[in-house]
């Protein structure tokens, strides 16, 4: 049944982009296919020297309303929607002189591109395709008899299909084309809804991501996985093996963190958390100090920096086994050095622009929220203690607060001289997170005298500031907002610890 082959005898072509259409027109014309077309597509076909009948001649009506109405007519849709095995449908086609249409080729108005270009609303609205979407839905519904191509990206596939089947299509071909057509039309409608819903805020969640790619597996080998989206828009892969699901999670975490920094910075990500980070006048020194923060966890991590990776830095980075390396650019010598490891994934960032809304499946639905884009600076700090942080400590507090924002809650970050000294992340208790960070700093020989502490949420009790002070911490940054804030402030005042609040919590789960 799925091999039920049907010869293409007639086709309707109405496309916005003509690139690649010439081969299809020439093939159809050489095989004696009757072609119907409209407007610019008709002119394109005629310039190729092929014969085609205008839809206006078929329907007896001109294109009206500035081209808004061209194909919306029973003589067009009747020939697409008629059931070839239904005698009543066949009689009506004959009665009203409606020709059957075996193939519909459409490429829709570029709505998304126009909306993204910053065009006026009037211009965007004019790029909402009505007739094209209607043709797609009609042809896809009639896949038992009609083949449909809904995007210029399918032109090559159609041509190959026709050649393979002697100018026809199988039922299996047509069913697959119908599924692809509904994928195109549903994505198109989702984009239009999202455009309108920017202001209307209708409580409906729609996310359409074409271009899915199967991954080797998910977080674990027994889990199937895929990525939906176009990674080529974000970066160019210059070298290495295929990117895995876990790589993607760490790459996402790395990009979100590194874009917070303006000065030369290196960050090392492991399981979505920074295990090393430093900001320095040179990228080489930033790398050395980031690695010093935890050279053990850095093994097999994802590395990210915000400057061109030069030869000197690349030579030292190359000494560490890492899964992924991310930079805005690479010097020719540096790239050659880094390519010495065959499987190392090397990415050159094109853009750091990320979606404004993040979502995840929860229970039997989806939860969506705005991205946490808040970045606190000195002007956002409230100095709540008698002791005030020095200018250098303020910079360390800002540095540490950026890191804790991108760490799994409960999280504590200890920093000194704009270097991540240690962190405690993903702990059920904030005290546990702090103790873990202190123990880790000691294990790598760091002195915490004069260091600063950042907490992703408020201190519910003064125990954290007490433990931190006894370890040598000189200043702390936290959102504030606990009913026991004053107790933490009182301890700091009694012991000469500086503390600032920001009023912004950075939970990350």
- Is residue 337 classed exposed, middle or buried when 0-12, 13-18 and 19+ CB atoms within 10 A define those classes? buried
Residue 440: helix, strand or coil by DSSP? helix
Strand partners, 6: 169
Contact 27, 163 (CB under 8 A): yes
Q: Which of 59, 68, 61, 76 is nearest to 135 (CA)?
A: 76
* Given the residues 141, 311, 339, 341, the one annotated as active site: 141
Contact 190, 208 (CB under 8 A): yes
For 385-429, what is the HEC assignment?
CCCCCCHHHHHHHHHHHHHHHCCCCCCEEEECCCEEEEEECCCCC
- Is residue 96 classed exposed, middle or buried when 0-12, 13-18 and 19+ CB atoms within 10 A define those classes? exposed
Q: How far is CA 321 from CA 29, 174, 251, 317, in A?
A: 58, 49, 16, 8
Sign of the CA dihedral running 171, 173, 178, 179: positive
Contact 416, 396 (CB under 8 A): yes
Q: Which of 50, 54, 28 is nearest to 39 (CA)?
A: 54
Rg (CA), the chain: 31
The Cα–Cα gap between 339 and 226 comes to 27
Helices (H), 283-390: 283-293, 311-317, 332-338
* Given the residues 271, 311, 339, 487, the one annotated as active site: 271
The verdict on whether 141 is a catalytic residue reads yes
The Cα–Cα gap between 24 and 160 comes to 10
What are the DSSP E strand ranges found in 242-349?
Answer: 265-270, 273-279, 301-305, 322-327, 345-349
- Mutual orientation of helices 155-164 and 21-30 as an angle, nearest 10°? 30
The verdict on whether 436 is a catalytic residue reads no
The Cα–Cα gap between 410 and 506 comes to 10
The Cα–Cα gap between 146 and 128 comes to 25
Q: Which of 34, 132, 127, 23 is nearest to 140 (CA)?
A: 132
Q: Is the peptide bond before 232 cis (omega within 30 degrees of 0)?
A: no
User: Which residues are known catalytic residues?
Assistant: 141, 271
């Amino acid at each position: 049944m799925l091999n039920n082959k049907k010869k293409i005898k007639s086709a309707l072509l109405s496309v916005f982009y003509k690139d690649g259409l010439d081969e299809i027109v020439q093939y159809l014309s050489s095989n004696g296919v009757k072609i119907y077309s409209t407007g610019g597509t008709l002119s394109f076909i005629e310039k190729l020297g092929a014969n085609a009948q205008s839809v206006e001649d078929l329907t007896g009506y001109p294109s009206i309303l500035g081209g808004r109405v061209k194909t919306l007519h029973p003589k067009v849709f009747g020939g697409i929607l008629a059931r070839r095995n239904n005698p009543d449908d066949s009689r009506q086609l004959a009665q009203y002189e409606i020709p059957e249409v075996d193939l519909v080729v459409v490429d829709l108005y570029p709505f998304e591109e126009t909306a993204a270009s910053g065009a006026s609303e009037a211009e965007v609205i004019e790029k909402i395709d009505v007739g094209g979407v209607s043709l797609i839905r009609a042809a896809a519904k009639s896949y038992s008899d009609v083949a449909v191509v809904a995007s210029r990206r399918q032109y090559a596939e159609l041509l190959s299909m026709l050649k393979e089947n002697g100018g026809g299509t199988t039922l299996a071909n047509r069913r697959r084309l119908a599924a692809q057509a509904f994928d195109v039309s549903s994505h198109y409608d989702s984009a239009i809804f999202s455009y309108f819903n920017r202001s209307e805020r209708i409580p409906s969640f729609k996310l359409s991501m074409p271009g899915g790619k199967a991954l080797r597996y998910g977080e674990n080998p027994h889990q199937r996985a895929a990525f939906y989206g176009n990674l080529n828009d974000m970066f160019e892969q210059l070298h290495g093996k295929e990117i895995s699901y876990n790589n993607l999670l760490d790459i996402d975490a790395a990009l979100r963190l590194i874009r917070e920094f303006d000065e030369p910075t290196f960050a090392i990500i492991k399981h979505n958390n920074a295990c090393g980070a430093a900001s320095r006048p040179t990228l080489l020194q930033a790398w050395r100090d980031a690695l010093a923060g935890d050279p053990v966890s850095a093994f097999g991590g994802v590395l990210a920096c915000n400057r061109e990776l030069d030869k000197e830095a690349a030579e030292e980075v190359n000494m560490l086994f890492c899964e992924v390396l991310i930079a805005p650019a690479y010097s020719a010598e540096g790239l050659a050095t880094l390519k010495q490891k065959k499987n190392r994934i090397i990415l050159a960032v094109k853009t750091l622009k990320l979606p404004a809304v993040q979502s995840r499946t929860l229970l039997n639905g989806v939860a969506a929220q705005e991205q946490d884009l808040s970045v606190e600076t000195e002007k956002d700090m409230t100095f709540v203690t008698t002791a005030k942080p020095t200018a250098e400590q303020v910079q360390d507090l800002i540095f540490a607060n950026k890191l804790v924002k991108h760490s799994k809650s409960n999280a504590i970050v200890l920093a000194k001289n704009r270097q991540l000294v240690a962190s405690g992340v993903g702990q059920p208790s904030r005290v546990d997170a702090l103790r873990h960070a202190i123990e880790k700093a000691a294990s790598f020989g760091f002195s915490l005298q004069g260091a600063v502490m950042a907490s992703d949420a408020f201190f519910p009790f003064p125990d954290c500031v007490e433990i931190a002070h006894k370890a040598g911490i000189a200043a702390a940054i936290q959102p504030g907002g606990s009913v026991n804030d004053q107790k933490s402030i009182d301890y700091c005042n009694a012991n000469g610890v500086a503390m600032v609040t920001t009023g912004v919590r950075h939970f990350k789960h």
